[in-house]
Amino acid sequence: MRKSTANRRSTPKQPGSARSKDEISLREEEYKRLNAELEAKTAKLVEEAEAVIAQDYSVVSDTKQSLLSKIDSDDLLEWDEDALSTRRPRSNLKKSNKSYQSDAEGDIFVTETRDEVYRNAIEKLQNQSYDENETIEDVMPEAAGQMGSEAQIRFLKAKAKAMQEELDILTEECSNKKEENTELASKLKTCEEELSRSKKSLSSHEATVRKLNRIIEESSATSERLNQELSSLKSEYDQLTRSQKKMNSEQGAVEIRLRRALEEVEKYKSEINRAKSARKESTEADKRRMNELTAENRKLEKQKNELMIGFKKQMKLIDILKRQKMHLEAARMLAFTEEEFVKALDWEG
C-alpha cells in the first residue's frame, strides 16, 4: 500500500520537473544574454577610454611641438625677478602639474609627457642666457627695429600674453580630456564590477542548475522505480479482482446447491411426517424405510452442515476481500492527500 501511495505521489511530478527544466533553461539563457551585454558595454567603454587617451596624448604632443617651435623663436628677453615670479604661465603650469599628479594610472604617461614639456620650457626660459641683440632679431620683426625699448617690451608682452592664452586654452582642453578620461575609467570600473558580480551570480545559478538537474535525474529514477512498483501492484489488484469474481460465482453455485439441499430436506421432512402418520399401520419394512430415511436425513443434515461451514468460509473470505477493498480505497484517498501536500511543497520550493 505504501509503495502504491509513493508511486502515485511521484507520478504527477514529471510535468513539474519538465516545467522546472524549462524555467532553468530560460534563466540560464537570460543570464548569458545579460553577461554578453555587459561584456559588450565593457568593450565599448574600453574603446572609448583608449580613444580619449589617444586623443589626449595627441593634443599634448601637438602642444609640445607648438611650444618647442615657439620657444626656439620666441622672445628670450631677460625679465626681472618680479615679472618672472608673477608670470601666469608658470603658476598655471604648477597647478597643472599638481592636478596631473593625482590622476589615475591610465593617465600617467600623458601627464609625465605634459609636465616634462612644461618643465623643459621653464628651465630653458630661466637658466639659458641669451644675447639681447640676437633675441630681439629672432623675435622682433624687421619693421620693429625702429621701435623704442618700451614699445618692444609692450610688443613682446602682448605676444607673450597671446601665447599664454593659447597655452591656457590647451591646458583647459587637456583638463577636460582628463576629466572625460577619469569619468570613462570610473564607468569602466563600474562595468567591470558589475560584470564580476554578474559572473559570480551566473556561476551561482549554474551551480543551482546543476543541482536541480541532479535532483531531477534522481526524481526521474525514483519515478521510474515507483512506476514499476505501481504496475506490479496493479497486476496484483487485477488478480485479486479476478479471484473475487471467481469466488462470487462459486458462492452463487454453493447457494444454489444449498437451496436444493434445503428443498430436499423439506421434501424428506414431509415424507417423514407422512411416514409418522402412517406409522401405526406400517410394517417392519416401513420401520426399515423409516430408519433408512432417518439415516439419509442425517446424511443430508451432515451435508447441510458441511455446506454451511463452506458458506461461512466463503463469507469470511468475502469479508476479507471487502476489507482489502476498503484499505485500497483508503490508500487512494491518502495518496490523493499526500499528492496535494507534495504539490504544495513543490509550489513553495
Q: Write out pLDDT tens, residues 130-155.
A: 444 444 444 555 555 566 677 777 77
287 and 327 fall within a common domain: yes
236 and 211 fall within a common domain: no
206 and 242 fall within a common domain: no
pLDDT band at 38 (very low <50, low <70, confident <90, very high): confident
Q: Is residue 1 part of a domain?
A: no
Q: Hey, what amino acid is at 77?
A: L
Considering 32-36, 130-134, 296-300, the range whose residues carry the highest mean pLDDT is 296-300
202 or 114, which is more confident: 202
Q: Is residue 9 part of a domain?
A: no
pLDDT for 127 equals 54
Q: Is residue 3 part of a domain?
A: no
pLDDT beyond 60 at 111:
no
Q: Is residue 295 part of a domain?
A: yes
pLDDT band at 328 (very low <50, low <70, confident <90, very high): confident
Three-state secondary structure readout of the chain? CHHHHHHHHHCCHHHHHHHHHHHHHHHHHHHHHHHHHHHHHHHHHHHHHHHHHHHHHHHHHHHHHHHHHHHHHCCCCCCCHHHHHCCHHHHHHHHHHHHHHCCCHHHHHHHHHHHHHHHHHHHHHHHCCCCHHHHHHHHCCHHHHHCCHHHHHHHHHHHHHHHHHHHHHHHHHHHHHHHHHHHHHHHHHHHHHHHHHHHHHHHHHHHHHHHHHHHHHHHHHHHHHHHHHHHHHHHHHHHHHHHHHHHHHHHHHHHHHHHHHHHHHHHHHHHHHHHHHCCCCCCHHHHHHHHHHHHHHHHHHHHHHHHHHHHHHHHHHHHHHHHHHHHHHHHHHHHHHHHHHHHHHHHHC
Q: Is residue 224 part of a domain?
A: no
141 and 243 fall within a common domain: no
If we measure between CA atoms, which residue out of 319, 318, 325 comes closest to residue 248? 318
Q: Is residue 5 part of a domain?
A: no
281-305: b (≥16 Cβ within 10 Å) or e: eeeeeeeeebeebeeebeebeeebe
Cell numbers standing for residue 180: 572625460
Q: Domain limits at 344?
A: 229-348
Q: Write out pLDDT tens, residues 207-252.
A: 888 888 888 888 888 888 888 988 888 888 898 888 888 888 888 8
257 and 206 fall within a common domain: no
Q: Which of residues 190, 217, 244 is at a domain's end?
A: 217
pLDDT band at 288 (very low <50, low <70, confident <90, very high): confident
282 and 149 fall within a common domain: no
pLDDT for 343 equals 74
pLDDT beyond 60 at 9:
no
CA 94 to chain CA centroid, Å, is 55
Q: Is residue 6 part of a domain?
A: no
172 and 258 fall within a common domain: no
157 and 299 fall within a common domain: no
On whether the pTM is more than 0.85, the answer is: no
23 and 171 fall within a common domain: yes
pLDDT beyond 50 at 124:
yes
pLDDT beyond 80 at 20:
no
142 and 252 fall within a common domain: no
CA angle 46, 47, 49 (to 5 degrees): 65
Average pLDDT of the residues in 294-314: 88
Tell me what percent of the residues of the chain surpass a pLDDT of 90: 0
Q: Is residue 8 part of a domain?
A: no
25 and 149 fall within a common domain: yes
**What total number of domains does the chain contain?**
2
192 and 134 fall within a common domain: yes
- Give the dihedral sign, CA 273/277/278/279: positive
